[in-house]
Amino acid sequence: MDRKIDYRQAAKELKSLADTFELANGVKIPALGFGTWLMPNDELGVAAVKEALALGYRHIDTAAAYQNEAAVGQAIKESGLAREEIFVTTKLANPEHGYHETKQAFAESLAKLGLDYLDLYLIHWPNPLKFRASWAEKNRESWRAFEELYQAGKIRAIGVSNFREHHLEALAESWEIKPQVNQIHICPGNLPQAQIEYCQAAGILLESYSPLGRGKIFEQAELVDLAKSLGRTVAQVVLRWHLQKGFLALPKSVTPAYIKENAEIFDFSLTAEEMQIIDHLEEGCCGLPKDPDQVDF
């Protein structure tokens, strides 16, 4: 049975990169992930993922739309780690919504990754341009395929990405299994409170992609000053903020020093006052998210 979990409270118990959140279905998910958006599907991408795994990351997030699943799979293969030690997420591409299309897309992603099961599979966007007139129906069809793959043991957890409240409510009309995850754009200056509260009340874990604001946070004087006062980097302070908010952040880098730096957030904490400084940064300072009902892809 699904359980509601207070992820902000759970975050207080996290002490290392090896620690996990527990999803509503009982599956454990490493509390800091390694994102791969814009990572190349070549030797550089393989090297970056291998570096992350060597440093102790155990959660790798990719997507069919990133076109780098093969590089991620190759890195996992070359890492020397047992499959069950690594939590792997990928996502359904926008043109593949629909029951049969989802089944086929899942099989193709699994083949590219070189895996025989996924830890987490997400619907990447709720309202792709191709299905604008029938997005709710197509999401229901895809979700039925997700549920069947989950029940067959091919996926350990299922969820969505970029879903706002009305998208979740439409999906709830037919789901048998509630999404365990919603991956959305959260960063300082972009706290979609209604969306966050909806998911928290439903026991859905929020994952934050582009948690460092695509670089814009490094220009914020308040964050620069706060990081200096703590003897930390801006990236570490912001990732620690995500963690203490109960969000699972997915920072991405291909630079070994930054990959290491991003993981070093478990040996300090932010005070309530410091959290408030970040909470109240100017709206849009990290770049506002795309409206999923208006995307042109």
Point out the residues that are catalytic: 66
Beta strands in the chain, from DSSP E residues, in sequence order: 20-22, 28-30, 34-35, 59-61, 87-92, 118-123, 155-161, 181-185, 205-209, 248-250
End-to-end CA distance of the chain: 36
Neighbours of 36 (CB within 10 A): 27
Nearest one of 267, 282, 271, 186 to 229, comparing CA atoms: 271
Nearest one of 44, 41, 48 to 257, comparing CA atoms: 48
Nearest one of 200, 185, 191, 297 to 246, comparing CA atoms: 200
Structure tokens at 274: 């410091």
Q: Which residue has the tokens 């991003």?
A: 262
Contact 10, 246 (CB under 8 A): yes
Structure tokens at 162: 């970029």
